Amino acid sequence: MYRSLDLARELIRLGADVRVVMSPEAARYIHPRLFEWATGNDVFVRFSGEVGHIALAELCDVYVIAPATANTIAKIAYGISDTSVTVLAQSFLGLGKPVVIVPAAHYSLLRSPPVSEALKKLESMGVTVVPPHIEEGRAKYPPIEDIVIATEALTLRGKDLKGIRILVTAGPTREYMDRVRYLTNASSGKMGVAIAKEAYFRGADVTLVHGPTSVEVPYYVRSVAVVSTREMLDAVLAELSKNDYDAVILAAAPVDFGFSHAFEGKVSSDIEELKVTLVPTPKISMGVRSVFRGLLVGFAAEFAQGDLDELVSRARDKLARRGFDIIVANDISRPDIGFSSEYNEVAIVDSSGAVEVVSRSRKVEIARRILDYVVKYVKERSSS
Q: What is the CATH number of the domain that holds 13?
A: 3.40.50.1950
What pLDDT is stored for residue 49 in this prediction?
62
Do both 137 and 194 map to the same domain?
A: no
End residue of a domain, out of 135, 156, 177: 156
Do both 201 and 280 map to the same domain?
A: yes
Do both 8 and 135 map to the same domain?
A: yes
End residue of a domain, out of 137, 156, 175: 156
Res. 331 pLDDT band, cuts 50 70 90: very high
pLDDT value at 217 more than 90: yes
Output DSSP code: residue 304.
-
Do both 180 and 142 map to the same domain?
A: no
Do both 218 and 135 map to the same domain?
A: no
- Tell me the mean pLDDT in the region 11-33: 94
Res. 338 pLDDT band, cuts 50 70 90: confident
pLDDT value at 50 more than 80: no
What pLDDT is stored for residue 294 in this prediction?
95
Kindly calculate the radius of gyration of the chain based on its CA atoms and give it in whole angstroms: 24
Do both 105 and 215 map to the same domain?
A: no
Look up the pTM and report it. 0.94
Domain hosting residue 268, numbered range: 165-383
What pLDDT is stored for residue 106 in this prediction?
83
The tens digit of pLDDT for each residue in 59-97 reads: 999 999 999 999 999 999 999 999 999 999 999 999 999
End residue of a domain, out of 114, 130, 156: 156
Do both 244 and 304 map to the same domain?
A: yes
Total domain count, the chain: 2
Do both 115 and 21 map to the same domain?
A: yes
CATH number (domain holding residue 363) = 3.40.50.10300
Report residue 95: phi and psi, to 5°: -85, -5
Do both 284 and 352 map to the same domain?
A: yes
Greatest alpha-carbon pair distance for the chain in Å reads 83
The tens digit of pLDDT for each residue in 126-164 reads: 999 999 888 877 778 899 999 999 999 999 999 999 999
The tens digit of pLDDT for each residue in 108-127 reads: 888 899 999 999 999 999 99
Task: Say what angle helices 70-77 and 84-95 make with each other, to 10 degrees.
Answer: 40
pLDDT value at 14 more than 70: yes
In three-state form (DSSP H/G/I as H, E/B as E, the rest C), the secondary structure along 135-203 is: ECCEEECCCHHHHHHHHHHHHHCCCCCCCCEEEEEECECCEECCCCCEECCCCCCHHHHHHHHHHHHCC
Res. 52 pLDDT band, cuts 50 70 90: confident
What pLDDT is stored for residue 107 in this prediction?
84
Do both 102 and 175 map to the same domain?
A: no
Do both 58 and 178 map to the same domain?
A: no
Q: Report yes or no: 58 and 99 within 8 Å, Cβ to Cβ.
A: no
Res. 382 pLDDT band, cuts 50 70 90: confident
Do both 341 and 358 map to the same domain?
A: yes
